[in-house]
Amino acid sequence: MTTVRIRVPSTVKQGELFEIRTLIQHPMESGQRVDDNGRPVPRKILRRFVCTYNGVEVIAADWHPAVASNPYLAFFARAGESGSIEFAWTDDDGTLTRETATIQVT
């Protein structure tokens, strides 16, 4: 089970910039190492991250093997209206991890 941590303010004033922070527990194995028996450790990385705010893409990132394990990402968005902020991480094997946060705009 992947652990995801998201930090989004619960309320924010309309038009205000607010910070979104995410951390996902993931080994981000590059596929370039070998195990104790000399066999290659299979590559397993998060390839893509997408965040949407009420269905509108806020940020999208393609990640590569050089990204550290347990990647942390912080970015800003402008408060428009109350709603949901959705996060999606796609793994090499197609596994999709999703989380959602809600925000109240006053």
Single-letter code of the amino acid located at 89: W
* pTM exceeding the 0.75 threshold for the entire prediction: yes
**pLDDT over threshold 80, residue 1:** no
Residues 6+ apart with CB under 8 A from 83: 53, 54, 102, 103
Domain residue ranges of the chain, discontinuous segments joined by +? 4-105
Query: Distance of CA 69 to CAs 22, 29, 38, 40, Å?
Result: 13, 8, 22, 18
- HSE (side-chain half, CA atoms, 13 Å) at 51: 18
The CATH superfamily holding the domain 4-105 is Immunoglobulins (2.60.40.10)
Q: Dump pLDDT digits (tens) for 23-59.
A: 999 999 998 999 999 999 999 999 999 999 999 999 9
